[in-house]
Chain A
Amino acid sequence: MAQSLDYLKETPSQTAGPYVHIGLAPGAAGFDIYGQELGWDIAGPNAQGERIRVEGLVIDGTGSPVKDVLLEVWQANAAGIYAHPEHPGAVEDGFRGWGRVITDFATGEWGFDTVKPGAVPGRNGTVQAPHINLWIVARGINVGLNTRLYFEDEAEANAADPVINMIEWENRRQTLIARRNETDGKVVYRFDIRLQGENETVFFDI
């Protein structure tokens, strides 16, 4: 036998279960325990850029909305900077770019307010179109699902985006594009996520 490599194995994932809110958003579970819950304000009050809202449903393989899902959001600011020490550049005071999103238990509708992110660097000198990274956990999801939300009104940047272009099936690329609506001066993007079946959303192994 050869020597053993002493790498550790990653801890295996388990479903977040139906009561994920108790741990990550106790207010949604129905009680108040922490001084402050985390992830309810993604951009903070000082963030530059266009204020937007994103709304959608997570839909299962039977076509029904998933009503107990929790999403996490990770995004750059409007200048394309992530609030992280490995990304050079500064973000506005109070901008974290991370959030937690809970569905309405009756309808499955979810939504969050943020600023539209800017383009961020890609690999090997490329540029990635503005996008929001999403991580989806719920009962019945054994390993959290990663996807990306791109913006309908960034058609030129999307056409050049190296990640979108890596998706072999052009019809599937559309599952990552949020549709823009403006009502009463408010900008709302619609982004429905289909876990399975027709128009199944593209999920990534990141």
Chain B
Amino acid sequence: MLKPGEFYQRDREWHPPAYVHNYKTSVARSPRQALISLENTVSEITGPVFGHGDIDAGDNDLIYNYAKSGESAIGERIILHGRVLDENGRPLPHTLVEIWQANAGGRYRHKKDTYLAPIDPNFGGCGRTLTDENGYYYFRTVKPGAYPWRNWVNNWRPAHIHMSIFGTAFAQRLITQCYFEGDPLIAKCPIVNTIPDPAAIDRLIAPLDLNATIPLDSIAYRFDVVLRGRRSTLFENRLEGN
């Protein structure tokens, strides 16, 4: 009998390295010693389990989840949707997806953000949902604005939505950012360019998905996420419990 076993090793040449000179904050925050490679134990193949008791149904609608009654967030209304899969192409059902973003003017609702663009009183800037049985997730929000940040004197982040995904194991834990097709700031961004392989950067750019738009209401972008996959092993070779 085949059972899911250990995770495929993470391709560290596909992910950004810890130290990237042009992303200045990484310089003092990047370990210099090599990571110690750990074969999976029960500590890595397990992870927190979430259910519908953890979240509310409206948590995935950022246009309304912080808006006063009868009002809504300002900005270009978008749907961000897609599937969470593993490297074997299998959907990951019931996994927690959390997002956060700036408002349409590029301002975050955070006590540390002092950018001069205004706060939108009807926009919080975060949402969360669980994938369905097919690994599908769906958010409604407004398209975030670009914003300046201190790296070189004139760096601008492309419009982006931060995304946190769990999977079923602590070894699959991932935070990434979703960019939008056609944004000229993507190619200029030192954070995007921490990723060495252009093919990997493409994986973070959500294409316009006209088929998923709601006519006269919202534009849609599609963003699929892939988490680490697992080998299949014989039942007798199972890791846990021994």
Chain A positions within 8 Å of B21 at CB level: none
Our pick among A12, A96, A120 for the contact of B43 (Cβ within 8 Å) is: A120
* Bound: A17/B126 CA distance, A: 14
Q: Does B17 contact A (CB under 8 A)?
A: yes
B28 to chain A, nearest CB (A): 4
* Bound: A51/B8 CA distance, A: 36
Q: Does A182 contact B (CB under 8 A)?
A: no
Instruction: Given A142-B23, A143-B15, decide whether A10 and B126 contact each other with a Cβ distance below 8 A.
Output: no
Our pick among B50, B110, B170, B204 for the contact of A14 (Cβ within 8 Å) is: B204
Against B, the Cβ 8 Å flags (1 = close, 0 = not) of A63-78 are: 0101010001010100
Chain A positions within 8 Å of B175 at CB level: 13-16, 20, 137, 144
Our pick among A19, A144, A197 for the contact of B32 (Cβ within 8 Å) is: A197
Against A, the Cβ 8 Å flags (1 = close, 0 = not) of B154-190 are: 0000000010100010110111110000000000000
Our pick among B12, B66, B192, B242 for the contact of A33 (Cβ within 8 Å) is: B66
Instruction: Given A10-B14, A61-B29, A166-B36, decide whether A22 and B226 contact each other with a Cβ distance below 8 A.
Output: no
Asked if B170 and A133 make an inter-chain contact with CB atoms under 8 angstroms apart, the answer reads yes
Asked if A142 and B20 make an inter-chain contact with CB atoms under 8 angstroms apart, the answer reads yes
Against A, the Cβ 8 Å flags (1 = close, 0 = not) of B76-107 are: 00000000011111000000101110000000
Chain A positions within 8 Å of B40 at CB level: 206
- Overall SS of chain A's interface: loop
Our pick among A85, A135, A201 for the contact of B173 (Cβ within 8 Å) is: A135
B239 to chain A, nearest CB (A): 6
Chain A positions within 8 Å of B132 at CB level: none
Instruction: Given A11-B204, A17-B162, A143-B18, decide whether A131 and B31 contact each other with a Cβ distance below 8 A.
Output: no
Instruction: Given A8-B89, A131-B43, decide whether A140 and B26 contact each other with a Cβ distance below 8 A.
Output: yes
Instruction: Given A8-B89, A11-B176, A205-B36, decide whether A142 and B17 contact each other with a Cβ distance below 8 A.
Output: yes
Residues of B within 8 A of A (CB): 8-12, 14-18, 20, 23, 25-33, 35-50, 54-56, 59, 65-66, 85-89, 96, 98-100, 108-113, 124-126, 128, 162, 164, 168, 170-171, 173-177, 191-192, 194-195, 200-201, 203-204, 225-229, 239-242
**B161: nearest chain-A partner, CB-CB:** A23
Asked if A140 and B28 make an inter-chain contact with CB atoms under 8 angstroms apart, the answer reads yes
Instruction: Given A13-B16, A13-B175, A121-B240, decide whether A23 and B229 contact each other with a Cβ distance below 8 A.
Output: no
A112 to chain B, nearest CB (A): 15
Asked if B170 and A206 make an inter-chain contact with CB atoms under 8 angstroms apart, the answer reads yes
Chain B positions within 8 Å of A7 at CB level: 8, 87-89, 229
Chain B positions within 8 Å of A146 at CB level: 170
**B26: nearest chain-A partner, CB-CB:** A140
* Bound: A135/B191 CA distance, A: 20
Chain B positions within 8 Å of A13 at CB level: 15-16, 174-176
Of A10, A105, A172, which is in contact with the most chain B CB atoms at under 10 Å from its CB?
Answer: A10
Asked if B16 and A19 make an inter-chain contact with CB atoms under 8 angstroms apart, the answer reads no
Chain A positions within 8 Å of B85 at CB level: 8
Asked if A82 and B42 make an inter-chain contact with CB atoms under 8 angstroms apart, the answer reads yes
Asked if A23 and B162 make an inter-chain contact with CB atoms under 8 angstroms apart, the answer reads yes
Against B, the Cβ 8 Å flags (1 = close, 0 = not) of A145-159 are: 110100000000000
Chain A positions within 8 Å of B203 at CB level: 9, 11-12
Against B, the Cβ 8 Å flags (1 = close, 0 = not) of A89-131 are: 0000000111000000100000000000000111111001001
29 A/B residue pairs, CB under 8 Å, sorted by A: A7-B88, A8-B86, A8-B87, A11-B174, A12-B15, A13-B16, A23-B99, A23-B128, A24-B100, A29-B110, A33-B66, A74-B43, A74-B48, A87-B240, A96-B49, A98-B47, A121-B241, A121-B242, A140-B25, A142-B15, A142-B194, A144-B173, A144-B174, A163-B41, A195-B31, A202-B33, A203-B31, A203-B35, A203-B36
